[in-house]
A and B are shown apart, each in its own frame.
Chain A
Amino acid sequence: MKSKQPLIHLLLLFIIVLVSGLYSVKTVRDIESVNKLKQEVSRLEINIVKLADLSNEVPPLSDETLRYANTLPANENEVANFTGVVERFAQESNLTILNHFDDFPKQVDVIGKNMFGLGMEITLEGSFQGVNGFFSKLSTMQYFFKADKITLLKNEVNSGIKVIVNGSLIMGVEKK
């Protein structure tokens, strides 16, 4: 009695195992791609919803944005506007004022955040009450002036005081 050798079976089995192995790798990669795409689509769906929200919310805020942006001068004209405001405050407080600006804006550290600022020195002369009123107005104006040093001196010539304020006018990026 002669027994049949299972060579064909073994060969077939080997081929099937090889094919199924390769196909498994392909299937796993396809499934991974699908999962990544699902995450991407979820993210995009969230962004689409946010975009829809933005399209409802942003247009009414345009005026607000513009108003906020105007608080940060972005060019010489707007710096000139700020100067006008400060000079008006000094005039209202019966002070003489002298402004000196740096030539160029530079990075200013604002509690760890870097912002654009134009260094300036304001020299005021007048009464103590006048200076106090000037500072009150400076605090409530629309612009942001970061005072870093205040030097107050008794005026030798008259009974008033002289105040030198060093600081930076915080600026915004130039509007297009």
Chain B
Amino acid sequence: MGFSGRIKHNPHFYQREMSIMPEIDKNGGISKTITSYINFANSKHPNRPVTEMLVSGSRQDINAIALELTTQNITAINAVSRLASTNVINHTLLHTSHGLSLKTFDLQPSLNLLPIDFRLAIVKNRLMHFWLVMMDMLIVFSLVGILALYYIDVQAVINKAELSALANQYQQQLHLPQSQALITQADRLNQITGQLMTLREVTGGEENILSELSTVTPDGITLTSFVISRNPGIKRLYEPGNSWVITGSANSRSLVLNFYNNLLSNTTFSDGKLYFGSLEKETGITFRIANVPTK
């Protein structure tokens, strides 16, 4: 059996383990022994009298002892073993940096009478055990992860080998002489058709220029020269944008003007400018129409 007392205005406890029965008998019983201890404590610390007693133990008459102390005007609380109660969920003591607290995880008051070093060792041991378990779990999970990685890698290596074999097979098929001949032939066909399509855009149609020139030239106008030259980027010779010069002679100025107007209505010659060779003459006129400056 043991008892603990709480000193007035002081949160600390003092405690005493009562295990020597001869001493109890010598003092005339458990109640008197406790009372004598209280008296002794009060005499030693008169300014800090014992105000409350917590009685704990496994004696049959422990309730009677608590009641007797109460009759002596000492507030006595009979400590009931929490282990006996099924309501208490967690008997584990709360671990703190200083050891065990006086409360459990479920905030029930508790007392630990073990020496502080021993308690710290228990806490350290429990923490270490916790960490060991955690590390064991980590090791197990890591090993499982490595096994999963191994499986994935093996699958990847198998796939790689299969795909490499397939790629080699395709490469060989593509590099067969008849395949290469087909590819070369197709390339040549593509190249030629591409070339021909481009060439079709830039060649031919020169007869259109002469036909147009013939159409717009009236009687009485004689063309002495005509030069047309392809400028860079122009697809066909009869398209606008090329450089051209027409020189000729005419019976009258009005014929030239008529010819010039007709010429401008044609897209090939729409940007031409008219220059007369002799402004004073009314007949036998020479002229020049061009879209480039000439002498």
Contacts and interface: CB of A to CB of B under 8 A. Distances in A.
Contact of B237 (A4, A68, A113, A150): A150
B198 A110 contact: yes
Binding site of A, secondary structure by majority: helix, strand, loop or mixed?
helix
Interface in B204-253: 204-207, 209-211, 214, 222-230, 232-233, 235, 237
A140 B205 CA distance: 9
Binding site of B, secondary structure by majority: helix, strand, loop or mixed?
helix
B151 to A, nearest CB: 10
A48 B174 contact: yes
Contact of A47 (B138, B174, B193, B230): B174
B211 A132 contact: yes
Contact of B146 (A20, A112, A133): A20
A80 interface: no
Contact of A54 (B131, B132, B183, B188): B183
Interface residues of A, number: 69
Nearest to A133: B207
A135 B206 contact: yes
Interface residues of B, number: 70
Contact of B164 (A37, A140, A153): A37
Contacts of A145: 203
Interface string A83-114: 00000000000000000000000000111110
Given A19-B146, A139-B207, A150-B228, A111 B138 contact: no
Nearest to A162: B225
Of the candidates B139, B192, B226, the one having the most CB atoms from chain A within 10 angstroms of its own CB is B192
Nearest to B227: A151
Interface of A: 1, 3-4, 6, 9-10, 12-13, 16-17, 19-20, 23-24, 26-27, 30-31, 33-34, 37-38, 40-41, 44-45, 47-48, 51, 54-55, 58, 61-62, 64-65, 68-69, 71-72, 109-113, 115, 128, 131-133, 135-136, 138-140, 144-154, 165, 170, 172
Interface of B: 118, 121-122, 124-125, 128, 131-132, 135-136, 138-139, 142-143, 145-146, 149-150, 152-153, 156-157, 159-160, 163-164, 166-167, 170-171, 173-174, 179, 182-183, 185-186, 188-189, 192-193, 195-196, 198-207, 209-211, 214, 222-230, 232-233, 235, 237
